[in-house]
Amino acid sequence: MTPKDKLASGSATIGVLGLGYVGLPLVLGFAEKNIRVIGFDVDQRKVDALNSGNSYIQHISPDRVSSAVSAGTLSATTDFSRIPEADVIIICVPTPLNSHHEPDLSFVRATRDTILPHLRANQLVCLESTTYPGTTDEEFLQQIRSRGFSPGSDFFLVFSPEREDPGNPDFHGTGIPKVVGGFSPACLEQGIAAYGAIYQKVVPVSSTRVAEMVKLLENIFRAVNIGLVNEMKIVADAMGIDIWEVINAAKTKPFGFTAFYPGPGLGGHCIPIDPFYLTWKAREFGIHTRFIELAGEINEGMPHYVVRRVAERLNQNRKALNGSRILIMGLAYKANVDDMRESPTFKLFDLLKAQGAEIAFHDPHIPVITPTREHAEYTGLQSIPWNRESVGSFDLVLISTHHLAVNLSELAAWAPVIVDTRNAMASIPTAPGQVTKA
């Protein structure tokens, strides 16, 4: 029986590989539709947490996990020899950049090589990890065929880009339309059946390459527009114009304008990374992606601009950046989540420390910095206590992320100097000259 047949009969099992911010919501999406799902991960702590009915992601309720475990629809394991139990195998592993801004497919390849010996006929492999067009075909087809399977006949292969937006109350999980592209029409049919079992809307496209390009276009669109507004912010600051007032007025136009907002740099697992997957692949075709690379240059330069503004503000108080105590508000890459992947705050840490500043952070969602691939030196650093004595002891507070859980009125009462990269203090009464926008 094909995965589609098994889904129709209610006997299908789904395997999700990688139980992070993408994989865990997907696991719960299937489990809550009474479809048996096995979560695979190399991290024993995640596996143990799920099997105990606990969640390790803040915006995912442990009640959802415990209910699925109790119902018998969810289990987790580090034993990849159980891959034959799955009719549908969905891969949700990281695709970061290396130090040269080139795609790092090591996690995808390692996962592929791990499951390859365990594949059987009539399985569907779905890659969700964001990557350049051609990856699914180039990295999976030959290897699947080497096992004696014929993709599109007795084995099925699709790409479906993840669209998770952690912390977004309006669009999340299976309510977000799901793009699916298959290696062949038969593969696409199986992919539509798999994702159609839980998603409200499935959007089929003609190939895996189209589906891969869809995700890149979505995120490049954001990166380029954020780069534009970041550049506009620098120009506006030089002219004494508040860019936030400009944006708020411009977005009243009911057509032809979409509001994007400046910040201290890009963060998260998509926007800072995905555009470079396309610029790298485009070079293979002799194409120079100037818009994308320019936006990347501007966005990567924003932490430097913010630090210059911090130094200027300290100078106004006859203080040098060297030796000053700086508190950074917000470690997460976006508001109201505990996700610190690619957070620009880490770059601010590096730049401020390099100029001799003493740094600390406060984040109500991240009490301590856990190990990261690129910033191991900050592992174990704890969020400072939120009280007048602690916050008031710093020479300057730099708002990097605007969490709603932070009492900004208290911040205004406690902090002598605030540099605000998120327009967080706009509606908060403050003393003249206390807040500088950056």
Active site residues: 270
Nearest to 261 by CA among 335, 157, 342, 152: 335
Cβ(437)–Cβ(423) under 8 Å? yes
Name the strands in the sheet holding 325-329, side by side, starting at the edge strand that comes first in the sequence.
358-362, 325-329, 396-399, 418-420, 435-437
Cβ(415)–Cβ(393) under 8 Å? no
Amino acid at 135: T
Half-sphere CA count of 344, side-chain side, radius 13 A: 26
Question: Strand, coil or helix: what is 399?
Answer: strand
**DSSP-assigned beta bridge partners for residue 203:** 179
Neighbours of 139 (CB within 10 A): 15
Tokens found for residue 426: 């706009």
- Concatenating the DSSP letter of every residue in 202-268 gives EEEES-HHHHHHHHHHHHHHHHHHHHHHHHHHHHHHHTT--HHHHHHHHTTSSSS-------SS--S
Task: Decide the pairing of beta strands 74-77 and 88-91.
Answer: unpaired
Helix count and strand count (H, E) for the chain:
15, 13
SS3 for 376-391, per residue? HHHCCCECCCCCHHHH
Alpha-carbon distance values, 240 to 235, 311, 417 (Å): 9, 18, 19
Name the strands in the sheet holding 202-205, side by side, starting at the edge strand that comes first in the sequence.
74-77, 36-40, 13-17, 88-91, 124-127, 156-159, 178-182, 202-205
Neighbours of 142 (CB within 10 A): 9
SS3 content of the chain, % helix, strand, coil (to 5): 40, 15, 45
- Concatenating the DSSP letter of every residue in 277-306 gives HHHHHHHTTT---HHHHHHHHHHHHHHHHH
Distance, in Å, from the CA atom of 147 to the CA atom of 126, rounded to the nearest integer, reads 17
